[in-house]
């Protein structure tokens, strides 16, 4: 068994990216949590039931804002939990 690592070429990375974008746009991603689906729907993403579809520009925009999006989702989750627990 050889002891070496094969590194992906730029072309390999581009093919992976292109295939991923195609899957996310044509097949979508299931989010079995309605509040998450509602956030995507409210922000202009194509939604069908619990499946969210991403075009490349939308996905790249999301990735550019991951820290902000993570904070927003964490805040929504905390608010949802506090409402359920009826915290004072």
Tokens of 66: 């991951």
**What pLDDT digit, counting tens, does each position of 18-28 carry?**
999 999 999 99
Q: Inter-axis angle of helices 10-26 and 56-64, to 10 degrees?
A: 110
**What pLDDT digit, counting tens, does each position of 75-88 carry?**
776 666 554 444 43
Rounded to 5°, the CA angle 25-27-31 comes to: 95
The pTM for the full model equals 0.64
| pLDDT at residue 79, rounded to an integer | 61
Q: Which long-range contacts (CB under 8 A, 24 or more apart) does 76-81 make?
A: 76/35, 76/39, 77/35, 80/35
């Amino acid at each position: 068994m050889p002891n070496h690592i094969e590194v992906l070429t730029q072309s390999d990375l581009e093919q992976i990216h292109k295939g991923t974008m195609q899957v996310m746009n044509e097949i979508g991603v299931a989010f079995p949590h309605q509040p998450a689906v509602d956030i995507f729907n409210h922000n202009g993403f194509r939604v069908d039931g619990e499946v969210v579809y991403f075009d490349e520009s939308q996905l790249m925009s999301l990735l550019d804002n991951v820290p902000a999006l993570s904070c927003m989702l964490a805040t929504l989750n905390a608010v949802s939990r506090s409402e359920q627990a009826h915290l004072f």
